[in-house]
Structure 1
Amino acid sequence: MTPDGAMLILLPVLCLFSGASWAATLGGQEGDYNREDILDPKSFGGVTNFSTFLLDRSSGMLFLGARDAILSVDTNDLGKPPLNITWDVPEEKRRSCVAKGKTEVDCHNYIRLLEFLEEGRIYVCGTYAFDPQCAFLELSTFTLEKAEDGGVRMETGKGKCPFEPSQHYTAVMAGGTLYTAATSNFLGTLFDISRATGPEQERIRTERSINWLSDPEFVSSAFIEQSADSNPTGDDDKIYFFFTEVAKEYDLYTKVKVPRVARVCKSDVGGMKTLQRRWTTFLKAQLVCEDKPSGERYNILTDVFTMQHTQGDPSSTHFYGLFTSQWEHEELSAVCVFSLTDINKVMDGPFKELKKTCENWINPEPVPTPRPGQCLNNALKAEGFESSLKLPDKVLTFVRDHPLMENSVTAAPLLMRKGIRYTKLAVTQTGSGEEPRGAVLHLGTDRGELHQVEVMGQNATLLKEIHLFTPQEPVNNILLHKGQALVGSPLSLARVQAEGCALYPNCEVCARARGLGCEWISEACTKTTAKPGPGDMVDDALRKCVRKDERCSPPPRELQVSMGLRLLLPCVQLSPRPCSWDHPPHRHTRQHHSDLEVTVTEESLGKYTCTCQEVGPGTRDPTPCRRAIYHLTVESPSAGGTMATAAGRHVLAIYILFFVGGIVFGIFLLYFITRRRSISRQGHHLPDNSLSSEKGRDLLGSSATPQSPSSASLLSEGFRLTEKRNGTATSTTTTTLLSNQGNGGHHGNSYSGTLIHSNPSNGHGNTLYANCNTSSSGLKFAEILAADMLDGRTGERERVRPEGGERESGEGNEVDEGLGDGLAEGIKGLEEELASFPMFKSPAPLAQCEESSI
């Protein structure tokens, strides 16, 4: 065969191979969510680190505080380019910040505060390279106010904004005055809850005492404004702060963290002699989120969402708290709700005191009058206490020494989830008037997901799990507006439907919303005007979907699996208590909330049963209900469904690879033998340059095919698939990763009967990755096959490192002694001939490569 003939055969094969890779790459980019409702990092022009959201509900404009910038996004039309204001730190100040021991990344201006002011302005505060500064943003022109010298008009932000970008912080505007909870020094060792703006003599803060604040992590704040109609006693308005701190009341060998709620009064201006420029109304109480049946207590507060259950009635305010546990090694999350009424009852209760002699906490006696920490009202003003400056010293001394209340504000979890960590929470209320009330919890995760959970009575139902961002982007903001949730991460922004019957994806969960006016009609959950009759409630609606005995006795499902596979067994959770699994005794499982991840081995084959606790109408104690039964057996040739389809694609791809590889190798072999015989006839001698004794030769940089008799596997010494710079492979090598297509990309409802989830973490099915590149010096390629492992719900696929393309030699030496040398010379000659073709003289474009979610 002549070299020209070999090239005529080789070119179509290479084109076919590249075309298949490109088509497979494009075919796997379907998402499980409308990508038009998501603004990715490219949409923001390089601006990152979004930490603060502020929404103008009248216009729908969303303001985002980022690193060195403030952005404005029109939530009514996400297609409009965002407006951008740059507010960065001068280079000299950044260098000074780094010289003080801070990292260069932190020595920027991270916008941590956005609050509306009067006259169409926004108060903006940033860390400003560990020297907090504040500025004023004009909404009409969307510019920062200028000083006389032409720069940004700034004022100190100390006490208004944290020094460090990652420090816990919260702030709220009350009647045009800013109240903050933040660190107040460069080192981050002093903590204050303060009135940060207003007249200088009224700017007061907490006492510097561990009895007041003990290494707190501030979470949230809320201003509760009393209306004249609902406040006949003339009680003062209050500001509430939520945080986690180290408890001083527990004398244990380790630091115990407890969640707290603190309260101050809006008209408090401090004491005359005692507690000068300090709060005279600062009181705090412990929040207890505990599941008594299991004894599990959640003591780390992560987020708080404030909502009035009855519009216009501040006394109906409830605080939905998101918790995790200090003691659990695995990821754990819970949601508890606390009413404003219960909090005020505890604040009006007994105080807790530390007796110095034996260091035991006891109830103090006696409590002076007027009551310490009490907000001003009409009765106190009638007694001559028009201001906190007129309070007696004994009252101020008592509140200084006893800020903690004896009783705790307790609640049982609405929801408990294992194997997942929630970061943000928002709540929409369902039902109105006399209809049954429920709530939909919108929960952001630390892996860029949004979970929507419906809570009705004592039952919680997972509605949807939406994968919005990459797993490296935790959800850090959720705002509700016009039936939609605006979800943010440090890099992206998404808009998601938050209300309506469309949230309920199947008949069973739609039935649980029957009291909310939803009904399952024509394979969809739709709004109905027909009110439920006396016997037409949740249980009756459930019977229309499936008989009750079948609901707790699901038919067993047999799954034929292969060894080493990682799969996720789904289980629908209807109760706020975690579901449990019975399975063969081995250690190859891990529970992701109610679902179970299994690594298939010989010991893991067998029966898997998921049991959940449910509470029915008229009963108070939960009863066990089996929700899923699976039998894992070894995969057979007749295995169908998703696994069979995926396996078939995988095997077919392997056959194609070996077929193409065989053709190419045969062409090379014929060409090299012909060339060697021709050289031999001319009397030339080949130098001894065989690679057979050099194991580990650089696979990417070598122009020869390495052959090592000691290499035990085709996948022995390769390179990492993910080693790319700016989307380009670091070498001129075609790399092909064949992967399972799974069961498609749809993952809006993870309980739609799908047993094995395929890469749902970014909404895409698995794709065939291909990086095709040629250089002007010639064409070099190696085919590397990698197996991937399914990681269940999170959609992660462990990329098995492709090992080197060395193949077992032994028969290569049997051709003759100089074949290795001929191969080296032959490949070099082939590269020169390929380089002579015009199509190989310029680099070929890389196929667009979808990053895997790891």
Structure 2
Amino acid sequence: MELKGEGAEDRVRRERLEFLSHSGELWDTKVEAHGSMKSTNYGTVLDPKMFGGVTNFSTFLLDRSSGMLFLGARDAILSVDTNQLDKPPRNITWDVPEEKRKSCVAKGKTEVDCHNYIRLLEFLEEGRIYVCGTYAFDPQCAFLDLSSFTLEKAEDGGVKMETGKGKCPFEPSQHYTAVMAGGTLYTAATSNFLGTLFDISRATGPEQERIRTERSINWLSDPEFVSSAFIEQSPDNNPTGDDDKIYFFFTEVAKEYDLYTKVKVPRVARVCKSDVGGMKTLQRRWTTFLKAQLVCEDKPSGQRYNILTDVFTMQHTQGDPSSTYFYGLFTSQWEHNELSAVCVFSLSDISKAMDGPFKELRKTCENWINPEPVPTPRPGQCLNNALKDGGFESSLKLPDKVLTFVRDHPLMENSVTAAPLLVRKGIKYTKLAVTQTGSGEELRAVLHLGTDRGELHQVEVVGQNSTLLQEIPLFTSLEPINNILLHKGQALVGSPLSLARVQAEGCALYPNCEVCARARGLGCVWNKDEEACRSTTVKPGPGDTADDALRKCDIKEGRCSPSIRELQVSMGLRLLLPCVQLSPRPCSWEYPPHRHTRQHHSDLEVTVSEESLGRYTCTCQEVGPGIRDPTPCQRAAYHLTLEGPSAGGTVATAGGRHVLAVYILFFCGGIAFGAFLLYFVTRRRSIGRQGHHLPDNSLSSEKGRDLLGSSATPQSPSSASLLSEGFRLTEKRNGTATTTTTTTLLSNQGNGGHHGNSYSGTLIHSNPSNGHGNALYANCNTSSSGLKFASEILAADMLDGRTGERERVRPEGGERESGEGDEVDEGLGDGLVEGIKGLEDELASFPMFKSPAPLAQCEESSI
């Protein structure tokens, strides 16, 4: 069944989930309600009603010793006991006075945004939490006492507050990150009401040590902050006496690329904990701020993922800071469809880039100039024993030439490069957390990925292979996952409205033999006697052990040798054949030669007809164990046959006959209406020949009025073809629309009872009286006089929300191949066009077909 108002991507995802559930790939998600909490076989989901109407959860803070989870929401702070989720959460209200909210709205902000959205929760000493909120675009911070779970009061009885500027963003939806390092808060946020100034700063501590970045586009260029991490040096293994460091991850507009469009790049920036700024140059500014580009790229395909979404920091060896790795979640600036990738960067590689050559950003009109010589001591380095021995006990003692150089050269020449661990097309991941087993070369990890549709995906990573273990639906499709915290083998997963606790570690979380077999690389085996997945200490042998484990299950198939699934289908049915691909290598389908299909990323949509019955096989390129070159791996196989009485022939249904009768009725009605119009115009012309003429000023007073109302801009020369490439209704290209463009829009889905394309199209012409194509904009209306008759109907497959391949369709509704029968007699075509044009002109002069008063013109920008 199709839902009203459902978008194309929503429909694709729903159909995929429905298919997986019917084919047995989604395990049982039946829930049992226990008061306001739903328990499932994968975990517990809290009902939003438990939170008493509090919404917009954006910030999580976990006390790992007690298991208390603190949630920052709109106008409230909540406390949830993760050990007893059935207990009602405790609630603190911290809202904005009515007068301040009205003042915020008067400044041009929306009523929804003029609340207090809690964006920062950080532990302080003495059992307190530092709390900061947007406070109606005037950020404020307060102190929460854990023993009484109340906000500290001021002398007047109100909440004791201090300014949050530089500590918390002004706008609820602004990108922002903060980290506490040794009791001092470091933040990356906007620092003004308009959201145009960006700072990475030390936001607390002694006033003279509160420093920030330089206000220069070479330092920060329209950044979107993502994550931050404090890396503390090991006191037992730090022979050089190197300083502790804070790392910030963000995406910004690259200034080193001289292109016509803005290119976004992911960055990692580093500052040092003991940095207190310079004495003359860079006063109250970072003297150790350096940044490098992160490159997440699949070199064989040339696909680069340049938008950073989330970063998860973990030590592969506990207690060893040098073993820190950063798992980055990426998407692409140039991909209009949903696309997600995960790349891993090591701290050692980032350190090598920071210790490498500096990039010279200044240039002449023709070529890059020679870089300046690097002064001594090296600019941007943290304090260590060598600097202290040279007399530089503080950044205040650094010479001006060193500070001037680092001010002008914050960007490093070398990038930090990694290949993607996994790539998912058609899925938008929002958050990432990682659990691992083993170490060194035997490191095995599970990626916990939250989607924008309220699902949690678990992906096994062993070496260069990634395997999707399970997809867990937690929340409704309107709730994106915005927080994932790992605690005691469980994942605390949050959305803006609710909270869930899911098992994150251990083989017992895999519910059936097939999923357990996929997790063979994690040391899991299926116990037939217990009907459960159990861990084993036996190391996997050589080869793809997942194949052997899968063959032992009832499905009798391997990881790269799936069994053929028989699907009984009915004529005209549209179905989606899933093929999950996690590597960046492409997938291809083999299918019957005469078919109507469309590939949605790695999945395949099929419209069932007699010609489309048969076998469908999906083959993906993957990297096998111990093999670096990609090898083909068959991931899915299906065989489509007609169900029940329909097998062996096509049976016309009553619904099909009714639709055909309606089409015939409309066709006959159209002929009758055309004959009436032709007779009406002919009779009017004959009357005109007998001397009954219109007044001499009829053109200027009627038609001319409409033409002047549309536009005074002269029409641009039309292209040779009336059929240009279709694109989205609301899309602008370089600020202007193409002249005399015909746009094909999706109107409604067909009933699935026809062979071939089941979509109907709507043809919309641009206004011919001006050359700017006003009909291409969703918020614009044309005031063209007269009626326009489309001489050709375009049908478009727009399942993915954009205009796809166009197929010419016969007026009777039957389809033909593009390019077949395109030759039309030119004389007949010219005569038909002239006849239609004359008919338009005649109809335009009648008041009944005139448009009302001229409408406002569409907003356009010039190049």
Deviates more, 1:701-710 or 1:604-613: 701-710
2:862 corresponds to: 853
Contact 1:732 1:774 in 2 (8 A): no
* Cα distance, 1:569 vs structure 2: 1.4
Q: 1:762 aligns with which of 762, 770, 792?
A: 770
Judging changes above 3 Å, is the alpha-carbon distance between structure 1 residues 192 and 712 closer, same or farther for their aligned structure 2 residues?
closer
Judging changes above 3 Å, is the alpha-carbon distance between structure 1 residues 462 and 133 closer, same or farther for their aligned structure 2 residues?
same
Deviations 1:230-274 (A, max 9, x none): 211000000000000000010111100000000000000000000
Contact 1:719 1:803 in 2 (8 A): no
Judging changes above 3 Å, is the alpha-carbon distance between structure 1 residues 293 and 105 closer, same or farther for their aligned structure 2 residues?
same
Deviations 1:685-713 (A, max 9, x none): 99999999999999999999999999999
Contact 2:551 2:558 in 1 (8 A): no
Contact 2:425 2:601 in 1 (8 A): yes
Give TM-score scaled by structure 2 length.
0.69
Cα distance in 2 between the residues matched to 1:293 and 1:714: 40
Deviations 1:94-145 (A, max 9, x none): 0000000000000000000000000000000000000000000000000000
Deviates more, 1:785-794 or 1:198-207: 785-794
Contact 2:275 2:287 in 1 (8 A): yes
Cα distance in 1 between the residues matched to 2:850 and 2:535: 63
Judging changes above 3 Å, is the alpha-carbon distance between structure 1 residues 808 and 539 closer, same or farther for their aligned structure 2 residues?
closer
How many residues align? The count is 838
Judging changes above 3 Å, is the alpha-carbon distance between structure 1 residues 137 and 833 closer, same or farther for their aligned structure 2 residues?
farther
* Cα distance, 1:579 vs structure 2: 3.1
Judging changes above 3 Å, is the alpha-carbon distance between structure 1 residues 606 and 532 closer, same or farther for their aligned structure 2 residues?
closer
Judging changes above 3 Å, is the alpha-carbon distance between structure 1 residues 45 and 799 closer, same or farther for their aligned structure 2 residues?
farther
Deviations 1:535-572 (A, max 9, x none): 99556545645999965444443423234534331224
Judging changes above 3 Å, is the alpha-carbon distance between structure 1 residues 407 and 64 closer, same or farther for their aligned structure 2 residues?
same
Cα distance in 1 between the residues matched to 2:824 and 2:628: 83
Deviates more, 1:657-666 or 1:593-602: 657-666
Q: 2:592 aligns with which of 584, 587, 592?
A: 584
Cα distance in 2 between the residues matched to 1:670 and 1:760: 24
Deviations 1:2-25 (A, max 9, x none): xx999xxxxxx9999999999xxx
Deviates more, 1:818-827 or 1:291-300: 818-827
Deviations 1:274-310 (A, max 9, x none): 0000000000000000011111100000000000000
* Cα distance, 1:774 vs structure 2: 46
Cα distance in 2 between the residues matched to 1:703 and 1:357: 45
Identical pairs, percent:
90
* Cα distance, 1:39 vs structure 2: 1.4
Cα distance in 2 between the residues matched to 1:787 and 1:488: 39
Deviations 1:482-512 (A, max 9, x none): 1111111111111111111134455455345
* SS of alignment partner, residue 291 of structure 2: strand
Q: RMSD value over aligned CA atoms?
A: 14.0
Cα distance in 2 between the residues matched to 1:819 and 1:813: 14
* SS of alignment partner, residue 342 of structure 2: strand
Cα distance in 1 between the residues matched to 2:188 and 2:400: 26
Deviations 1:368-418 (A, max 9, x none): 110010000001000000000000100000000000000100000001000
Judging changes above 3 Å, is the alpha-carbon distance between structure 1 residues 793 and 850 closer, same or farther for their aligned structure 2 residues?
farther
Deviates more, 1:601-610 or 1:533-542: 533-542
Judging changes above 3 Å, is the alpha-carbon distance between structure 1 residues 71 and 569 closer, same or farther for their aligned structure 2 residues?
same
* Cα distance, 1:353 vs structure 2: 0.4
Mapping for residues 620-635 of structure 1, pairs under 5 Å: 620-635=628-643
Judging changes above 3 Å, is the alpha-carbon distance between structure 1 residues 122 and 214 closer, same or farther for their aligned structure 2 residues?
same
Cα distance in 2 between the residues matched to 1:625 and 1:133: 56
Judging changes above 3 Å, is the alpha-carbon distance between structure 1 residues 159 and 271 closer, same or farther for their aligned structure 2 residues?
same
Judging changes above 3 Å, is the alpha-carbon distance between structure 1 residues 669 and 735 closer, same or farther for their aligned structure 2 residues?
farther
* SS of alignment partner, residue 709 of structure 1: coil
* Cα distance, 1:41 vs structure 2: 1.8
Deviations 1:773-801 (A, max 9, x none): 99999999999999999999999999999
Judging changes above 3 Å, is the alpha-carbon distance between structure 1 residues 589 and 535 closer, same or farther for their aligned structure 2 residues?
closer
1:697 corresponds to: 705
Contact 1:224 1:239 in 2 (8 A): yes
Cα distance in 2 between the residues matched to 1:212 and 1:681: 79
1:643 corresponds to: 651
Contact 2:641 2:647 in 1 (8 A): no
Contact 1:690 1:820 in 2 (8 A): no
Judging changes above 3 Å, is the alpha-carbon distance between structure 1 residues 673 and 467 closer, same or farther for their aligned structure 2 residues?
farther
Deviations 1:327-347 (A, max 9, x none): 011110000000000000000
Deviates more, 1:385-394 or 1:833-842: 833-842
* SS of alignment partner, residue 761 of structure 1: coil
Deviations 1:142-197 (A, max 9, x none): 00000000000000000000000000000000000000000000000000000000
Judging changes above 3 Å, is the alpha-carbon distance between structure 1 residues 765 and 415 closer, same or farther for their aligned structure 2 residues?
farther
Deviates more, 1:137-146 or 1:539-548: 539-548
Deviates more, 1:769-778 or 1:66-75: 769-778
* Cα distance, 1:598 vs structure 2: 3.9
Cα distance in 1 between the residues matched to 2:333 and 2:539: 45
Deviates more, 1:145-154 or 1:769-778: 769-778
Q: 1:818 aligns with which of 816, 820, 827?
A: 827
Contact 1:460 1:573 in 2 (8 A): no
* Cα distance, 1:86 vs structure 2: 0.2
Cα distance in 2 between the residues matched to 1:803 and 1:368: 79
Q: 2:393 aligns with which of 386, 393, 401?
A: 386
Cα distance in 2 between the residues matched to 1:37 and 1:307: 26
Higher relative contact order by CA 8 Å / sep ≥ 6: 1 or 2? 1
Judging changes above 3 Å, is the alpha-carbon distance between structure 1 residues 472 and 707 closer, same or farther for their aligned structure 2 residues?
farther
Judging changes above 3 Å, is the alpha-carbon distance between structure 1 residues 330 and 815 closer, same or farther for their aligned structure 2 residues?
closer
Cα distance in 2 between the residues matched to 1:623 and 1:633: 31
* SS of alignment partner, residue 315 of structure 1: helix
Contact 1:711 1:806 in 2 (8 A): no
Judging changes above 3 Å, is the alpha-carbon distance between structure 1 residues 793 and 514 closer, same or farther for their aligned structure 2 residues?
farther
Give TM-score scaled by structure 1 length.
0.70
Judging changes above 3 Å, is the alpha-carbon distance between structure 1 residues 569 and 793 closer, same or farther for their aligned structure 2 residues?
farther
Judging changes above 3 Å, is the alpha-carbon distance between structure 1 residues 643 and 265 closer, same or farther for their aligned structure 2 residues?
farther
Contact 2:736 2:860 in 1 (8 A): no
Contact 2:568 2:641 in 1 (8 A): yes
Cα distance in 1 between the residues matched to 2:391 and 2:238: 20
* Cα distance, 1:518 vs structure 2: 1.4
Cα distance in 2 between the residues matched to 1:752 and 1:541: 48
Contact 1:734 1:770 in 2 (8 A): no
Contact 2:521 2:546 in 1 (8 A): yes
* Cα distance, 1:682 vs structure 2: 63
Cα distance in 2 between the residues matched to 1:402 and 1:453: 40
Cα distance in 1 between the residues matched to 2:758 and 2:684: 61
Cα distance in 2 between the residues matched to 1:79 and 1:642: 56
Cα distance in 2 between the residues matched to 1:512 and 1:830: 68
Cα distance in 1 between the residues matched to 2:737 and 2:101: 35
* Cα distance, 1:626 vs structure 2: 1.6
Contact 2:233 2:243 in 1 (8 A): yes
Deviations 1:585-625 (A, max 9, x none): 89975656643344546775554321122322331111012
* SS of alignment partner, residue 201 of structure 1: helix
Deviates more, 1:651-660 or 1:195-204: 651-660
* SS of alignment partner, residue 727 of structure 1: coil
1:80 corresponds to: 87
Judging changes above 3 Å, is the alpha-carbon distance between structure 1 residues 668 and 77 closer, same or farther for their aligned structure 2 residues?
farther
Judging changes above 3 Å, is the alpha-carbon distance between structure 1 residues 374 and 807 closer, same or farther for their aligned structure 2 residues?
closer
* Cα distance, 1:514 vs structure 2: 3.5
2:511 corresponds to: 505
Contact 2:750 2:758 in 1 (8 A): no
Cα distance in 1 between the residues matched to 2:628 and 2:823: 81
Contact 1:518 1:526 in 2 (8 A): yes
Deviations 1:617-653 (A, max 9, x none): 3311110122222233444437899999999999999
Judging changes above 3 Å, is the alpha-carbon distance between structure 1 residues 399 and 561 closer, same or farther for their aligned structure 2 residues?
same
Deviates more, 1:257-266 or 1:577-586: 577-586
Contact 1:704 1:823 in 2 (8 A): no
2:251 corresponds to: 244
Judging changes above 3 Å, is the alpha-carbon distance between structure 1 residues 653 and 109 closer, same or farther for their aligned structure 2 residues?
farther
Contact 1:775 1:840 in 2 (8 A): no
